[in-house]
Amino acid sequence: MANINLLPWREWERERKQKEFLTQLGAVLLVGVLLVFGAGMYLDNEIEGQQGRNTFLTGKIKVLDEKIAEIQMLRKQREDLLARMRVINELQGNRPVIVRVFDEVVQTLAKGVHYKKLEYEGNMLSVSGVAESNNRISALMRNLDGSDWFTQPNLKSIKEDPTNSDYGEQDTLKQIQSVDFSDLDINNIGSWPGVVKAIFMAILFALVLGVGYYWHVTDKQKNLEVEQAKEVDLRAEYEDKAGLAANLDALRIQKREMEDAFGALLRQLPSDTEVPGLLEDITRTAIDNELTIESIDLEPENRTEFYIELPISIVVEGDYHKLGSFVSGVANLSRIVTLHDFQINPIRDNLGLRMEITAKTYRYLEEVDRQDGPKVTPDFNRVKQFLEQFTIGRLAMVGTLAQGPVTYALIQDGNGGVHRVQPGDFMGTDHGRILAVNDTGIELIEIVPDGTGGWVERERTVSLAAGA
């Protein structure tokens, strides 16, 4: 019987299994490493894409910030205009007050009562005169109580006198439990049971993934989460600011309308050069009402927040109805003149009444600042640019063009041609010089007549055309 020595074969088989197992372990290791690096590349791409979205949103928010800043500026300008308009409207509303006082004095006068002196200071009217009897004085007090203009009439005293009186987320576990781990030879890992090999490879695979995840993926994942959270915040910010910026065009229109209305109000305030003419109008009104002019004097100016007050002291003589017509005429002059404190006293020998009254006219404070500062005039020697032949109303912004650091605006003229402009260029018939160009419009400053023979700078905006 022949004997076969199987030891060499067994040694060969052991080495084969060991190499096979090591190869499998290498494959597991390689797959794990590839997975880790693949996950890293995937996260890098996701982070890059997320950053791109965030950059896009940031750019859009920047545009919205510019619009919101303009809105805030427009609102501030609107409130400033409203405050100034309120002041002028209050001055306008005060014009007929003295006229009504004159009329109410007559309407409340009782029969048998004769006034000898009228004095108006602040909001207080003081009267002294004579009455035929106490009943006449009672009738006068009832008339004053019933007046819509006179309140809290107070009778100071009655004196009997022949002529005068005063008042005012088992099976394998079983196989694992049958394995004796003390029989395992670390130098003969190829002879290990299949279950043990599988467990070892799984542990190695998990270890590679764990270490790779911790050292290579974790930071990238955190960065991605940060960028994703940033996108959420940016989107919320964009939506909020888009809502705020939606009112920009409406505010621009509203501001232009308010500027027009304010300009109309300002035309009712005289300039320095118009004060002599205003004095002539007051003199003419007195003469037309057959009054004797004793004096018309300019008093020292008073500066307030929005305007300069120009008091005028007037002394005239005539009868009461002519004085009332004079007061009404002055209150209705084209320039705003308000009337204030007055005194009316009889002239000696009953030849009429003498009235001392303070009138006030007003000059807008910006007018003063403009006169005190450097004069603004257009450069008539400058060579005109092509777009200066068109009015601003015939020019439209249809887009922008960026070349390096410079952003140009594309302007369509009234004939359909499109031109490229940048800050420093001129456009429009009012010497309009471009100050800034952005995605939403053009800011420029024009030089226009101020209505008194001079010139004044005026800010203007040409917005991006709708649908452009």
Residue-number span of the structural domain to which 302 is assigned = 267-372
- How many domains does the structure of the chain reveal? 3
Count, residues in the chain: 468
Q: Which of 202, 206, 200, 173 is closest to 184 using CA atoms?
A: 200
**Residue 51, pLDDT score:** 85
Q: What is the share, in percent, of the chain residues with pLDDT greater than 70?
A: 83
The answer as to whether 5 is a domain residue is: no
Same domain, 294 and 239: no
Same domain, 248 and 276: no
- Tell me how crowded residue 100 is: count the other CB atoms within 10 A of its CB: 15
Residue ending a domain, choose from 257, 282, 310: 257
Same domain, 159 and 67: yes
The answer as to whether 359 is a domain residue is: yes
Strand positions, DSSP E, 306-463: 307-318, 337-346, 353-364, 396-403, 406-412, 418-421, 426-427, 432-438, 441-449, 455-463
pLDDT in tens, 1-50: 556 665 666 677 667 777 776 787 778 788 877 887 887 888 888 888 88
Span 327-335, average pLDDT:
86
The answer as to whether 8 is a domain residue is: no
More confident residue, 317 or 243: 317
Same domain, 52 and 159: yes
More confident residue, 115 or 162: 115
Confidence bin at 412 (pLDDT 50/70/90): very high
Same domain, 368 and 390: no
Span 338-345, average pLDDT:
89
Helix axes 275-288, 320-331, angle to 10 degrees: 150
- Tell me how crowded residue 432 is: count the other CB atoms within 10 A of its CB: 24
Same domain, 104 and 249: yes
Residue ending a domain, choose from 257, 280, 315: 257
Residue in the block written with tokens 């619009």: 67
Same domain, 102 and 224: yes
**Residue 176, pLDDT score:** 46
pTM: 0.49
Same domain, 351 and 275: yes
Same domain, 359 and 396: no
Strand positions, DSSP E, 227-286: none
The answer as to whether 28 is a domain residue is: yes
Looking at every residue in the chain, the average pLDDT score rounds to 79
pLDDT in tens, 203-258: 777 887 787 777 777 888 788 888 888 888 888 888 888 887 887 788 888 878 88
Q: Which tokens hold the place of 279?
A: 């004095």
The answer as to whether 122 is a domain residue is: no
Span 279-294, average pLDDT:
89
Q: Which of 29, 102, 154, 86 is closest to 331 using CA atoms?
A: 102
Residue ending a domain, choose from 357, 372, 387: 372
Same domain, 283 and 361: yes
Angle, alpha carbons 30-31-35 (nearest 5°): 115
CATH number at residue 422: 2.30.30.830
Same domain, 75 and 196: yes
- Tell me how crowded residue 315 is: count the other CB atoms within 10 A of its CB: 15
CATH number at residue 309: 3.30.70.60
How far is the C-alpha of 240 from the C-alpha of 242, rounded, in Å? Answer: 6
The answer as to whether 420 is a domain residue is: yes
Same domain, 273 and 227: no
More confident residue, 325 or 350: 325
The answer as to whether 26 is a domain residue is: yes
pLDDT in tens, 83-110: 878 877 887 777 778 888 888 888 888 8
How far is the C-alpha of 150 from the C-alpha of 123, rounded, in Å? Answer: 10
The answer as to whether 9 is a domain residue is: no
Q: Does the pLDDT of residue 174 top 50, yes or no?
A: no
